[in-house]
């Protein structure tokens, strides 16, 4: 662990947001179910001793059971997503959140 308590190679992200868009479930050549979706995030964060409003859309992808859960969920649902960041493609510098766990939240939770 480094001085901030982060393990070398750590790549974990927890993000609260609202499910605002999703594609249909597709399957890889190996038969793995995938779904791409968008989480809209809005919060206030502390930075340099000041409050900063943060609003963003985060592009996500989920596989197998998590993909089926996303596909069956209504748009507008508040969720907490846990996963890791990876490039969108081999030569891309754009990042996508690969969601491993998805938890439904009550509004304002």
Give domain limits for the chain: 13-104
* Displacement of CA 59 from its chain's centroid (Å): 7
* 8 Å CB contact between 24 and 71: yes
- Beta bridge pairs of residue 50: 47
Q: What is the CATH number of domain 13-104?
A: 2.40.50.140
Give the confidence band of 106 by pLDDT, cuts at 50, 70, 90: confident
The structure tokens listed for 57 are: 């859309």
Over the chain, what is the mean pLDDT? 93
Please answer whether residues 16 and 83 qualify as being in contact, where contact means their C-beta atoms are separated by less than 8 angstroms: no
Question: Tens digits of per-residue pLDDT, 54-90?
Answer: 999 999 999 999 999 999 999 999 999 999 999 998 8
pLDDT tens for each residue of 42-58: 999 999 999 999 999 99
Query: Any idea which residue has 């969108």 for tokens?
Result: 88
Assign 52 to helix, strand or coil.
strand
């Amino acid at each position: 662990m480094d001085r901030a308590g982060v393990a070398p190679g750590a790549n974990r992200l927890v993000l609260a947001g609202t499910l605002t868009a999703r594609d249909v479930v597709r399957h890889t050549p190996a038969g793995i179910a995938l779904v791409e979706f968008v989480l809209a995030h809005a919060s206030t964060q502390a930075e340099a001793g000041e409050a900063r409003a943060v609003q963003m859309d985060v592009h996500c992808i989920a596989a197998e059971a998590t993909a089926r859960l996303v596909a069956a969920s209504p748009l507008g649902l508040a969720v907490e997503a846990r996963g890791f960041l990876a490039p969108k493609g081999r030569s891309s510098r754009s990042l996508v959140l690969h969601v491993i766990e998805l938890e439904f939240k009550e509004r304002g939770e």
